[in-house]
């Protein structure tokens, strides 16, 4: 596929960066994942806002404006002839020799983006099994950082046990997944952890909260415990690439009746109807 790299478009075999890039040496960078339906980015402004937040939090000056990102996206969509796609974009602090923890003030960011083909989910949703694991990551999970070793270790641990994804907790409070947010439904109320620094504020999460309000579903952004998770009527995960996926089982425990529940189903229907 075609790669946008520091102002150029190059075939992926020719897209090269320095071994002294701070992304490679320190995982010193941030990223975004934007879903595109029918050639239109979904919640583009929200993704651009979160990108600005991540850059601000790590002290990288935004190398491109939202309009520039939009033209890069248009160029990639045209060249790749894709209707549905996932835009991956990444900005690292840049490259300099020799390796030094302190970056020099005039370092130039490395900017990269490309499209992955995407098939928007259709048909009956299949409930998945997740595994409850302790959240061993750092305390700035609100930054969409490329430093994902904690997430990767937890993902590996959950998939080794045959689960699709971990569901993480800190001292018994649910946070999120390795690459998704979680919701539960109890007595008709939709509950999801608050968007504090322990989770990434998912754009899909935000959209689901709006869809729930539109459907007159009661919503609470509040911490919930592992006990409340096991006692939930329904549970589902959200992410840009997976939209909404029902959770039928946590470890060996069945959630609700193990099927896709009515609130989850309503939200999936409304989500699909809201896609561009
Ligand atoms: N991950 N939490 C984490 C830790 C994530 O990595 C993601 C997304 C989310 C959901 O955010 P959103 O709804 O905006 O996709 C929550 C992306 C998809 C990824 O890393 O590929």
- Specify whether the CB–CB gap between 111 and 5 falls below 8 A: yes
Could you give the 3-state DSSP secondary structure of residue 265?
A: helix
For 187: left if phi > 0, alpha if psi spans -120 to 50, otherwise beta; the answer is left
Which among 59, 139, 69, 138 is positioned nearest to 93, based on CA atoms? 59
CA dihedral 30, 181, 124, 189 (to 10 degrees): -150
DSSP 124: S
Mean pLDDT of 92-118: 97
Residue 97, pLDDT score: 97
Mean pLDDT of 36-65: 98
How far is residue 5's CA from residue 131's CA, in Å, rounded to a whole number?
37
Residues 231-264 pLDDT 10s = 999 999 999 999 999 999 999 999 999 999 999 9
Which among 240, 241, 244, 264 is positioned nearest to 46, based on CA atoms? 240
Q: Whose CA is nearest to atom 3 of ligand 1?
A: 179
Q: Name the burial class of residue 188, with classes exposed (0-12), middle (13-18) and buried (19+) by CB atoms within 10 angstroms of its CB.
A: exposed
Beta-carbon count within 10 A of 197 CB: 13
Q: Whose CA is nearest to atom 1 of ligand 1?
A: 179
Please identify which residue in the block is written with the tokens 């790299």: 5
CA dihedral 24, 25, 30, 35 (to 10 degrees): 20
Q: Is 240 in the pocket of ligand 1 (CB under 6 A)?
A: yes
pTM of the model: 0.97
DSSP 233: S
Q: Is 179 in the pocket of ligand 1 (CB under 6 A)?
A: yes
At 47, is the pLDDT very low, low, confident or very high (cuts 50, 70, 90)? very high
Residue 161, pLDDT score: 94
Residue 86, pLDDT score: 98
At 129, is the pLDDT very low, low, confident or very high (cuts 50, 70, 90)? very high
How far is residue 225's CA from residue 14's CA, in Å, rounded to a whole number?
48
Q: Is 205 in the pocket of ligand 1 (CB under 6 A)?
A: yes
Question: How are the residues of the chain apportioned to helix, strand and coil, as percentages rounded to the nearest 5?
Answer: 30, 30, 40
Residue 145, pLDDT score: 98
Q: Whose CA is nearest to atom 11 of ligand 1?
A: 202
Domains detected in the chain: 2-117 (3.30.470.10), 128-274 (3.20.10.10)
- Pull the structure tokens for residue 184: 């539960």
How far from the centroid of its chain's Cα atoms is residue 113's Cα? 16
Mean pLDDT of 33-45: 98
Residue 17, pLDDT score: 97
Residue 14, pLDDT score: 97
Quote the percentage of the chain above a pLDDT of 90: 100
Residue 183, pLDDT score: 99
* Catalytic residue list: 144
């Amino acid at each position: 596929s075609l790669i946008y790299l520091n102002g150029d478009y190059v075939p992926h075999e020719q897209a090269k960066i320095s071994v002294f890039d701070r992304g490679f040496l320190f995982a010193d960078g941030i990223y975004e994942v934007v879903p595109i339906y029918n050639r239109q980015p979904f919640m583009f402004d929200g993704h651009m806002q979160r990108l600005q937040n991540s850059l601000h939090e790590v002290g990288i000056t935004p190398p491109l404006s939202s309009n520039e990102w939009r033209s890069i996206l248009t160029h990639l969509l045209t060249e790749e002839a894709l209707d549905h796609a996932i835009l991956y974009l990444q900005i690292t602090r840049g490259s300099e020799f020799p390796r030094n923890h302190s970056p020099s003030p005039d370092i130039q960011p490395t900017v990269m983006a490309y499209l992955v083909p995407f098939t928007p989910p259709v048909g009956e949703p299949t409930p998945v099994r997740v595994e409850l694991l302790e959240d061993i990551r750092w305390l700035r999970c609100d930054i969409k950082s490329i430093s994902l070793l904690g997430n990767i270790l937890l993902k590996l641990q959950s998939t080794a046990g045959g689960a699709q994804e971990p569901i993480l907790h800190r001292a018994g409070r649910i946070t999120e997944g390795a690459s998704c947010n979680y919701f539960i439904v109890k007595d008709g109320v939709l509950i999801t952890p608050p968007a504090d620094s322990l989770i990434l504020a998912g754009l899909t999460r935000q959209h689901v909260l709006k869809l729930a309000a539109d459907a007159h579903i009661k919503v609470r952004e509040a911490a919930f415990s592992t006990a409340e998770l096991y006692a939930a009527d329904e549970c589902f995960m959200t992410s840009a690439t997976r939209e909404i996926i029902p959770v039928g089982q946590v470890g060996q425990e069945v959630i609700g009746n193990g099927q896709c529940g009515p609130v989850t189903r309503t939200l999936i229907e409304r989500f699909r109807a809201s896609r561009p």
